[in-house]
Structure 1
């Protein structure tokens, strides 16, 4: 009789020191990879099962005081659809990998170019001129191979958004510019899933959370990309907005209500101001 997954996990677990002191039963990344290779079960599923058994994947030990084991299990069993892998998208993608979002469905039809090196996390001297989707797949194998990544080298349209969003728990708008944001917002509403959106222009930016049927920034921001192109995209602005977006995504995936639902957070790093407005 084949060994059950629970039994295999118990056989591979080891005692590990906790950051706050003491020991816990834990599963190291190498053990997860071994079980996944032998069974064909995705790493995120193995880690979620381990958490159900009271065994902590060592990868997430430093999450545990901020994200409970129960919430971590929810993240591992979640599926997120993200559109865009540029400045915002690459930073969000890396954070979601490290946080343990089990399945990431991402799309971007662009290739990296030299001007992306100033702020795009996935762009470096090894990935320049490659497709952003390919760079994302490579990053996932380096950072967290337990995550299932469906990276698509394509520009989505009104016709392809619905299929892309189907079956997901949450959508992330990390598009460059404003042209397709309203279409994505409308398609997320039809899919009945929340949408986290954000944009930057120079040292300013915004983040918003749009629940199905709510008003979003795309309904009054228009489609003019001039502000971003004129004011530029400095890395601190990109990283700040991306981090806020990732935090809101995790908040909702673990079952909490976002304080930005139906609102927009406006930031200005030059003046160091943050202001929340109702939409």
Structure 2
């Protein structure tokens, strides 16, 4: 039973098809799914690579940056010949070469309150592969408002973290973990603090794993858990995340009904507070 998979696809995805918990039905579901990856850098590169290889039918890639030589230490879907090209174009070309089954829609924009709802509205799952708190909080708030599952990942020096917000009835959100962004400069970015190149590769691959499992409806996700990795100590820690009933976004009496209710430039504070 191929469920519409042609012979080339049966060959390409054979290692999925022979898995009892995926099979042709699961592969057909992946081919019929759509994922938006916001950020085509260190985290987004492995996410895009493995989602494309898995046969996610439609991939959206949102990023307003261009490839720089310093990116190549960790952003593995870009190469020397891509320097100065828009990352979304380089990513789309990489996917086309890897898997012609995947349609890529490029969004050469920086995610903002003006475009976020239009960006995420056409996708089944959103992947936060960004590198700044404003984008993380904005994606979280928009995904809560639209009941869109969100995969979050972040890296810092030798460390990384991943969680999944499925948007079920008892799902926490990013604000349940961090109510607002830290003061500007309190957490240096990768350009200032540096990052071990393989760490975003590992974290992004786990994000891709979470997305595929979510689309297949298989296994247990990191819903309600923050998975943290320390490459220096080769140590893993899992911290529970519980839904905060007083959360202004996902709580019992939310005060955020629109992304316009949040002052994102000012530590992502709730505008009414």
Q: State the TM-score bracket (shorter-chain normalisation).
A: 0.7 to 0.9
Distance 2:178 2:107 in 1: 24
Assess if the C-alpha contact under 8 Å between 1:211 and 1:261 holds in 2.
Answer: yes
Assess if the C-alpha contact under 8 Å between 1:178 and 1:218 holds in 2.
Answer: no
**What is the CA deviation profile of residues 69-93 of structure 1, one whole-angstrom value per residue up to 9, with x for unaligned ones?**
2111111111111110001101110
**What is the CA deviation profile of residues 222-271 of structure 1, one whole-angstrom value per residue up to 9, with x for unaligned ones?**
36541544441222101110111000000101113543102110110111
**What is the CA deviation profile of residues 28-81 of structure 1, one whole-angstrom value per residue up to 9, with x for unaligned ones?**
xxxxxxxxxxxxxxxxxxx96227xx9952111122344322111111111111
Assess if the C-alpha contact under 8 Å between 2:128 and 2:150 holds in 1.
Answer: yes
Q: 1:113 to 1:225 in 2, by over 3 A?
A: farther
Equivalent position of 1:86 in the other structure: 41
Question: Structure 2 residue aligned with 1:215, among 168, 173, 176?
Answer: 173
Provide TM-score, normalisation by structure 2. 0.79
Distance 1:278 1:242 in 2: 20
- Once the two structures are TM-superposed, the CA of residue 111 in structure 1 deviates from its matched residue by 0.2
Equivalent position of 2:258 in the other structure: none
RMSD: 2.2
Q: 1:48 to 1:114 in 2, by over 3 A?
A: farther
- Once the two structures are TM-superposed, the CA of residue 164 in structure 1 deviates from its matched residue by 0.8
Equivalent position of 1:270 in the other structure: 232
- Once the two structures are TM-superposed, the CA of residue 185 in structure 1 deviates from its matched residue by 0.5
Equivalent position of 2:155 in the other structure: 200
Equivalent position of 1:252 in the other structure: 214
**What is the CA deviation profile of residues 113-170 of structure 1, one whole-angstrom value per residue up to 9, with x for unaligned ones?**
1110111012211111100011011112210111111011111101211011113211
Distance 1:58 1:182 in 2: 41
Alignment of 1:31-42 (within 5 A): none
Decide which structure has the larger Cα Rg and report it.
1
Equivalent position of 2:73 in the other structure: 118
Equivalent position of 1:60 in the other structure: 13
- Greater percentage in helix: 1
Assess if the C-alpha contact under 8 Å between 2:161 and 2:228 holds in 1.
Answer: yes
Q: 1:48 to 1:90 in 2, by over 3 A?
A: farther
DSSP 3-state at the match of 2:227: strand
- Once the two structures are TM-superposed, the CA of residue 178 in structure 1 deviates from its matched residue by 2.2
1:172 aligns with 2:127: yes
Larger deviation, residues 253-262 vs 213-222: 213-222
Q: 1:258 to 1:106 in 2, by over 3 A?
A: farther
DSSP 3-state at the match of 2:179: helix
Larger deviation, residues 183-192 vs 221-230: 221-230
Mark the runs of 5 or more structure 1 residues left unpaired by the alignment: 1-24, 26-46
Distance 2:91 2:118 in 1: 21
Provide TM-score, normalisation by structure 1. 0.77
DSSP 3-state at the match of 2:13: helix
Distance 1:197 1:138 in 2: 25
1:158 aligns with 2:109: no
Q: 1:211 to 1:225 in 2, by over 3 A?
A: same
Assess if the C-alpha contact under 8 Å between 1:211 and 1:262 holds in 2.
Answer: no
